[in-house]
Amino acid sequence: MNSQTISWLSAFGAGGLEGEPPLLEELGINFSHIKTKSFTVLNPLRPVDRNIMDDTDLAGPLLFCLAFGTFLLLSGKQHFGYIYGVAVVGCSVLFLILNLMSPQGVDIPKTASVLGYCMLPLVMLSSVSTLFTLNGGLGYILSALAIAWCTYSSSGFFTAVLGMNDQRFLVAYPVGLFYGCFALMTVF
């Protein structure tokens, strides 16, 4: 066989072409960044690195939204359309609000990435809703804690990335309302 035939066969095999990056890397899915950003959300008391959002990937947020919807589906609630609708409208509105508040501005993929990664506590809440009904006192307390956790994490991300340390409470209010919508889907 000549080298041309070998390269065509390897292109359609499992190995790919020489020097070609792996498929996940081409798609922009980096599991180490997803892990780093998820652990940053899970430990909100640790200071946020200012350069954590230099790589704005949307694979983690899409995975978290899918997991959130799947857990809600397992608890008997079909809210996939509402989840993606609230996410799109909420990201757009928060993008506008943050650009009005910040002197340097933020782009919409960074906004969506931060909001999606910080949704992880609500994903954990929706996983609890598969085992227990949250329409009661304990569910309301757990929902309030999840909203506070998401809000604290995302406002920390936004203030660190945008350099708005004195405006954390102003950032936290609309972000808290955003996560409140998702908590309402989980409880009711």
In tens, the pLDDT along 135-188 reads: 999 999 999 999 999 999 999 999 988 888 889 999 999 999 999 999 999 999
What one-letter code names the amino acid at 161?
A: V
Instruction: Output the CA–CA distances (angstroms, integers) from residue 181 to 22, 115, 122, 158, 185, in the order listed.
Output: 38, 13, 11, 20, 7
Positive or negative, the Cα torsion across 22, 110, 169, 85? negative
What one-letter code names the amino acid at 123?
A: V
Tell me: pLDDT of 45 over 60: yes
46 SS3 class: coil
Question: Are 126 and 71 within 8 A, CB to CB?
Answer: yes
Q: pLDDT confidence of 97, banded at 50, 70, 90?
A: very high
Pick from 6-15, 42-51, 169-178: least confident: 6-15
pTM (2 d.p.): 0.85
Comparison of pLDDT for 12 and 44, the residue scoring more: 44
How many angstroms separate the CA atoms of 109 and 93, rounded? Answer: 13
- Cα angle 126, 155, 56 (rounded to 5 degrees) comes to 80
